[in-house]
Every structure is written in structure tokens, then in C-alpha cells.
Structure 1
Amino acid sequence: MMMTWTRAALVGSIFTCLHKKRAALAEAKRDIVQHSAADPSYELKLVQVIFRHGARTPLKPIPHSEQVEWSPTLLETPKHTLFNYRVTDLEGGPKPPSPFEERYRSNKLKGGAFPGQLTTIGMQQAFSLGARLRKDYVEERSFLSPTFKPSEIYARSTNIVRNVESMRCLLAGLFQQQQEGPITIVTSDAESEILYPNYQGCKKLKYLTSRRMPLAFSQPGMKDELTKLHQDLHIDSSNEVDFFVLIDNLLAEQAHGFPFSVQYEGYLQRTERKVIDIVSYMVRPNDREVMKLMVGPFLYALQSNILEATRRSSDDTQSRKLFLYASHDVTLVPLLVAFGIFDQKWPPYAADITLELYQHQPSREWFTRLSYNGKEQVVKGCSSSLCPLDQFLNALSEVVINPEDYKTKCCLTEAETAEKTQADFIP
């Protein structure tokens, strides 16, 4: 009889513990709308920031009579944005060559600057983003150390100088130039880059988008609007200046305070609407194949960082707390679409997506929180902005792809290869 009572007591205690845990989890999920990330019962465990570089010179100038001068004086480095760093490949070896930079350096803009260079204003924008992160994660929440420590931070950038320099400026703002040794900024070769849709490295993505691009540009009103903009801006119609070249120049001129009349601002608004129309045609949330090939490997990396953090022991003090990724507007747009939060506006310079991971202490369950340019968002598939991890991972499961599958899916079929080859020979 005593043994029976002992077993009953043991079973009862197990059920009591399970009940308490379930109750805590139920309370967390029931009251999650009322909770905020500042609630002390939610402990911040990991932060990942994907950001666009700061303002830069245009990639390709508009050939018209009112072309502005991009002087090298616009590229001077403010002393407060300096930060000691080195650049390596992903394995710690020498920095890979950059075909993009080689292309930029082969031309000069009017005034003497090279295309695609981070300007003084762009450096300050990235610094300001770092200062904002410092206020949140150092000063207010004491999540990061006030001085840079290599064990806390992972920094990865595309292999383009403006992005590496934007990372430097962000770090200077984040740590106010206080550091324990230089930071290593890792980067990949162009063929295997995942921080932007890789049309060079993924033949299938290039094949799919090249078929869709002419249709995107032939949507109703596109040709007429482009012709009208060419006329209004006095651009020779024989020059290949599309909506993307226009918005690139107009945004750069606006950011640097060049004479930007009300008339020019109207051109920018018209151009942005058409760019968004084209991008929305190309980047469709229900097109899983294209979305996977555009940002699936990057999302896999973000997901892997989260899952690794959930497996850490509570006394692990050497694990990364902050992952920083210096990327591009063409990265942010499909990511925003994948998260279901694209606002139909072109991402500004130094725009950021910040993804946080929390653990609810009473239940020990995990939650994510995502913000865009400092504003909290509700990810598609999540019940609230503070999203249970299982909901978040499930929401992204249709577009996440691991490196092995990505490599396989990037290959063209024999029929696609034949079709592409035939198209290449059409005069």
C-alpha cells in the first residue's frame, strides 16, 4: 500500500509540474498581445540585424544636361566613424576579389568620384544606425558590452566596399569606437554570395527572372511613363535608362542635397511607383520557387542562428549575441515580402530589419520579434509581433532552403539549358 501511495505521489508531482509549465505557456500565449519585449519575463537571447548600406554615388549616371557633379570631397571619412577592422573570406583566409568593385572602378562619374561609393552622408547614416542600436542594446537593456568584444559580435558583409565601410561605421556608432582589438568582417566570393539574390551563382534564378523581366516591364503604362520621364528629364531616348537607373540617381541626389525641386520630387514619386510595380511582379510572395532562390539560403542562415541559440546552455558566455549583415536594397525587398511586411516603398539608405529572439522564463518557451526601421512588425503567419518561435519558423518554412538543396535547385534542366542556349543565339 505504501508503494502504491509513493507511485501515486510521484505521478501526481509529475502532472503538477507539467500542469504548471503548460499553464505558464498558456498564459504567455494568451497574454502575448499585452506583453512587450520589455517585459522582464522575456529574456533577450539573440539579435540579428540585416541592413542596407548608407547613401552612395549612383551606379550609372543619367545622361542629361542637368547631371550633377560627384566630387571626391563628398567621400571624406568623418573621424568618429573610424573603427579598426580587417576583412577575410568566410574561412578566415584572404579577402576574395570583387568583380563588382572592378566594374565600378573602371568608370568615373562627372566630378571625379567612382560609381557606387559610400559618401560622407552615407557613413553618418550607418553610424546613426549603430548609435540607435547602442541606445537599445547597450544603454537601455545592457544586452551588449559597451566596448566591442570579438566573442559577442559576428559581422558579415557583401564583398563591396560601400557595404564593408557601412559595417565599419555602424560598429563605430554601436561601440563609440571603443574596442578590444579589431573586428573581423567576413565576406564571400561573388559566385556563392547569399546576402543578395545571386543571379550569377544561381543559373535557375537567372533563367526564371530573365523570362519574367520583359513581362514586368511591359505592364500597362510602363513604356509610356518611361518615355514621358525621358522627355521631362531631357534624356536622349537612345540611351538605356530604365526606371531603376532613374530612381538610383534621383534618390542619391535627394540624399546629398543637390538642388531637388518640387518637379524633381514628382519625378521620384512617379519613378518609385513604377519600380515597385516591376518588383512586385518579379517578387511574388506566392511564388515559392523564385522566393527560395532569392533569399532562401539567407533565411536558412538566420534560422540556423536562432536554432543554435535555443540549444545553448544558460552558462554559455562565449556565444555570439549579435549578428550583423551588411546587404542591399535588392536583399531587403524580397526579405520584406517573405516576412509579409513589404510596405510598397523602396528601402531607404541604412534601412534595417532587426530580428530578436526571446525566451519566456516561466515557460522556457521561445519567441521572436521583428522590426523594420525601428518599428515593430507582425510577421505573416504570426499571431502577434512577439511571435512564438514555432509560428515564426512555420511561416518561413516555404521559402527557407538549405545550402545543399539550393545548389541542386540552381541547376538548369536539359530542356531549360537548351532553351536558354537557343535564346542566346537569337540575333
Structure 2
Amino acid sequence: MTTLEPRQPYTDAELRQLYPPQLKLQLVQILLRHGERTPVTPRFQNTGLPPYWPYCRAVRHLRSAVLDPDTGEYSYLDWKRRLETFGSDDDSPIIATGPNAELDDICDMGMLTDRGRETTRNLGRRFRDLYVERLNFLPADLTNAESLYLRSTPVPRALESLQQALSGLYPATHRAPDLPALTLLTRAPQDETLFPNDGNCRRFAALSRAFAQRTAERWNNTPRWTISTRSSASGCPTTPASP
């Protein structure tokens, strides 16, 4: 994914226009998309793009909860992950490597990259600058774990992006020492509403088909659609020239 460079922070004049002083705050709601990721499938290898990308240092810093059945206590197992694939010659298993023979830091398909972690952490910092430092919509320190409703889709890169942004909004120095573990909510796929879920909602699927059909009937035979189709096929600009 490409990186979107954010605009400069709002000026004081812009903030006064966006948030008039006579309004009363009811809720702070933040919606964000995941950060930069790797392709969900290997693509464009014929152009020289490597199938495996060494841009995910997080795979060196993994931790799993491990239960001791004798004591009923949990401990932690620290580990790192390498990716295995099939060799091109005889299909024997080999370690996947990056373009310069890197063994570690290899990303899974569709995985949040180091760059994605950086930008979502910086996004959280922008949230803090806006909602804490300038607008005073949120407290400076997080002392109540129940004061936030945190939800993500079940896609790992989305959950990790939420964690990165949250750590920018409330870094460790601004979380109370006795703050309990924060609750991050996810839903089963059939209950997910943070993305179009036509695979699990028949009503939504029917509405999507109806919307697509209505759009096709309205635009398919119009001059603008014809120009766009021809331009896309020829690689020319899709905007009609001004007279």
C-alpha cells in the first residue's frame, strides 16, 4: 500500500470554525483504517516485485500465553516466526526469503508492515495533539480502562493498527500505573458491521445487488461512461477535455 501524507495540523482559525464554542461535546468517536500492508497475494512478480517482503520486524517479538495444567497459572513464551514455503525445483520445504536473502522479518500476506505501524502510531499522536492538547475533548492521562470502547474487525492488521494508534494517543507515560488491561472487542464474522458484510447478511447482499443494478442502468449508456471506458482501455486521462 502507498503512504498517505497527512495534511498539516489544523490552524487555530480552522479549529474555531470546525468546533464552534457554543457546541457541547457529547462523544468522541474515532474511526480508522489499517496502516500500510503487504499484498494479500503475491503480485507483479513479472515486474521484479519480490513475493516475500522483509518489512515486518514484529515477527521477531511475538509472545504467547502458555498454561501450566499443574498449577493453573499462565506464563509467557517469547518466540519469533519464520515463513516456510515450497522450493521451485522439487517442492521440498524451504525458508521463505526476502529480495536480499533475508530470513527474518518476512511478512505474511496482507500483514501490517513496519511502515504501517509507524504511520498508525503517528496517527495516534495526531489524535492526542488534537483531542487532548488542543481541544481538551479527552483527558491527558488514561486512568479508567472502561472509559474507552475499543473495537476492531477480526483481521489481524486492523487489530494491530488499533493497538498502534491507541499507543500513540495514550503512550505508557500517560497511562496510570495501576490501569488494568484494556479490553479490545472483536466480533464473529457473521456479526461484523465495520465492513460491508454481504457474505453473512442476505438483506445487505440484496441491497448491494440492487444498488449495482440501479447504477448500471443509470450510467452504463451515458456519454461520460463511454468516454471513461475508452480512456481506461487506452491509458488516457478519464476526464473529458474542456471545450
Task: Output the TM-score relative to the length of structure 2.
Answer: 0.58
Residue in 1 that maps onto 2:149? 154
Residue in 1 that maps onto 2:113? 119
Give me the whole-angstrom Cα distance separating, in 1, the residues matched to 2:231 and 2:43: 19
Residue in 1 that maps onto 2:166? 171
Residue in 1 that maps onto 2:37? 56
Asked which structure has the greater RCO (Cα within 8 Å, sep 6+), the reply is 1
- The answer as to whether partners of 2:35 and 2:112 remain within 8 angstroms in 1 is yes
Give the one of 50, 54, 66 matched to 1:69: 50
Give me the whole-angstrom Cα distance separating, in 2, the residues matched to 1:77 and 1:165: 10
> Which aligned pairs between 1:274-285 and structure 2 lie closer than 5 A?
none
Residue in 1 that maps onto 2:89? none
Shift of 1:223: 7.9
Give me the whole-angstrom Cα distance separating, in 2, the residues matched to 1:77 and 1:113: 9
Give me the whole-angstrom Cα distance separating, in 2, the residues matched to 1:39 and 1:206: 40
Give me the whole-angstrom Cα distance separating, in 2, the residues matched to 1:70 and 1:62: 7
1:139 has 2:124 as partner: no
Shift of 1:140: 2.0
Residue in 2 that maps onto 1:278? none
Give me the whole-angstrom Cα distance separating, in 1, the residues matched to 2:35 and 2:47: 24
Residue segments in structure 2 that go unaligned for 5+ positions in a row: 1-15, 62-84, 87-95, 99-105
RMSD (Å) for aligned C-alpha atoms: 4.2
- The answer as to whether partners of 1:70 and 1:113 remain within 8 angstroms in 2 is no
Give the one of 107, 114, 124 matched to 1:130: 124
1:193 has 2:192 as partner: yes
Is the helix fraction higher in 1 or 2?
Answer: 1
The secondary structure found in structure 1 opposite 2:27 is strand
Distance 1:67 1:200, change over 3 A: farther
Residue segments in structure 1 that go unaligned for 5+ positions in a row: 1-34, 83-105, 230-265, 275-427
Q: Which amino acid aligns with 1:60?
A: T
The secondary structure found in structure 2 opposite 1:42 is coil
Shift of 1:162: 0.3
Q: 1:214-233 deviations in whole A, cap 9, x for unaligned?
A: 959x753548835x67xxxx
- The answer as to whether partners of 1:130 and 1:171 remain within 8 angstroms in 2 is yes
Matched positions, count = 177
Give me the whole-angstrom Cα distance separating, in 1, the residues matched to 2:155 and 2:121: 18
Task: Output the TM-score relative to the length of structure 1.
Answer: 0.35
Shift of 1:210: 4.7
- The answer as to whether partners of 2:38 and 2:53 remain within 8 angstroms in 1 is no
The secondary structure found in structure 1 opposite 2:150 is strand
Shift of 1:143: 2.6
> Which aligned pairs between 1:40-55 and structure 2 lie closer than 5 A?
40-55=21-36
Q: Percent identity?
A: 26
